[in-house]
Amino acid sequence: MVSARAATEVATRGSFFKPRWIVDIISELRRVTWPTRQETAHLTLVVIIVAILFGIVLGSADLGFSWLIEHTILR
Residues 5-30 have a mean pLDDT of 75
User: What is the biggest distance separating any 2 CA atoms in the chain, rounded to whole angstroms?
Assistant: 91
Residue 11: pLDDT band by 50, 70, 90 thresholds?
low
User: Which residues lie below 8 Å from residue 10, measured CB to CB, with a gap of 6+?
Assistant: 2
Q: Report the C-alpha gap between 64 and 67 in whole angstroms.
A: 5
**Model pLDDT, residue 12:** 54
Q: What residues does each domain of the chain span? A: 1-32, 35-75
Residues 54-69 have a mean pLDDT of 97
pTM greater than 0.75 (yes/no): no
Give per-residue pLDDT as tens, 33-56.
999 999 999 999 999 999 999 999
